[in-house]
Amino acid sequence: MLPLSIFLVAVSMLSATVLPAKKEEFVVITGNRVSVAAGTSLGNINCAYTSSTQKDTLVLNKQIPQSDRLRLAIPVKEFNCGNVFLNKDFAKALNASQHPYTKIEVVCLKQEGKGYKGNLNLIVSGKTIPLRDVTFTVYPGTGVTNLRGNICLNFSEIGLATPKKMGGLFKVEDKLQVSVELQLAG
């Protein structure tokens, strides 16, 4: 019986060294765009930040260790809302003087069919908001592929007051539409 058990141990050790390890899947991020849209009593406001300087590799289909997570650090004062006054109001609403960066951290991203589903942490105005099962759709861009995830939040969830201007005549709705786009290397 001893020779058979030695043989089985040897075979299991050999198979562990000979068989290839499971291939790790990943995507290479070459840029990102984050946009925020809110309704107002006078129409919609759209603010966006685009970066093509942050490049990173994002491992798919597993929980990413905290030290290896993709982190988007977005300078609040660099959001473009269409004009200087809206830019300042947006930065003030997000308390940019005390929290100059809004951050998005990718906790995990899993491929599901033709799309992706992921867990994110949104860090805004010093508060971390976990976002679970965010659906990312794939769409082609000019020479690149993009992943886009849409998130619906409220100012009240974030712990911020909705901005009011001109004695309350101009009001911003509580609901925010946040779009996170990740540009992938082809």
- The confidence band for 10, taking pLDDT boundaries of 50, 70 and 90, is low
Q: CB-based burial of residue 120 (10 Å sphere; 0-12 exposed, 13-18 middle, 19+ buried)?
A: buried
The pLDDT value recorded for residue 32 is 93
For 31-44, write each residue's pLDDT tens digit: 999 999 988 877 88
**How many Cα atoms sit within 13 Å of 145 on the Cβ side?**
11
For 120-167, write each residue's pLDDT tens digit: 999 998 899 999 999 999 988 777 899 999 999 988 888 877 766 645
The pLDDT value recorded for residue 5 is 54
Contact 60, 109 (CB under 8 A): yes
Q: CB-based burial of residue 166 (10 Å sphere; 0-12 exposed, 13-18 middle, 19+ buried)?
A: exposed
- The confidence band for 24, taking pLDDT boundaries of 50, 70 and 90, is confident
Please state, rounded to an integer, the average pLDDT across all residues of the chain: 84
Rounded CA-CA distance 101/2 in Å is: 65
The pLDDT value recorded for residue 99 is 94
